[in-house]
Amino acid sequence: TNLSACVWGCREASGHMIKRRKGSILIIGSTATFHPLYKESAYRISKTGLVAFMEVLAIELIPFGIRVNMIIPGGFETKMTKDFFVSDTAKILKGEIPMRRFGLPKEVGPSAVLLLSDKLSGYTMGEVLTIDGGVKLHPHAIYTDEDITKMNEA
């Protein structure tokens, strides 16, 4: 569903944009692209496939004035994820996020506006913007927050 629905949705939307010779498509990816998790092979394959699809779609549609980009959000506190974010697993995951917190839905919107706006990013296409508090950097958790603070104060 992740990949197929995106392909079908983009096909329908781009048809209207091609007629106008203008438009912008924003595809939503997943940090699963960067980090494998147990029992998520099908999910990861579908989300990784979205990156390849976005790149090809970007070069195919730009002759029609249609820009295609992607946002990859990390862990965000939403109604759907509220039960997970109080679990022990979430506490461990929060420790792996360099910003030491989960994202808020209101922190995704401005990035979406940036990538969709011709005025703000009219020369941006085929790009992936990751909004994950630094999870993609995947630092090894060998230092405490106090150790990191001391290193940077010296």
CA distance 130 to 135: 9
Are 57 and 10 spatial neighbours (Cβ–Cβ below 8 Å)? yes
CA distance 50 to 27: 8
CA distance 47 to 45: 6
143 is catalytic: no
CA distance 56 to 68: 9
Identify the burial level of 136 via C-beta atoms within 10 angstroms of its C-beta, where 0-12 means exposed, 13-18 middle and 19 or more buried: middle
Which residue in the list 38, 43, 123, 143 is annotated as catalytic? 43
Are 107 and 131 spatial neighbours (Cβ–Cβ below 8 Å)? yes
Are 67 and 52 spatial neighbours (Cβ–Cβ below 8 Å)? no
Q: So which residues are the catalytic ones?
A: 43
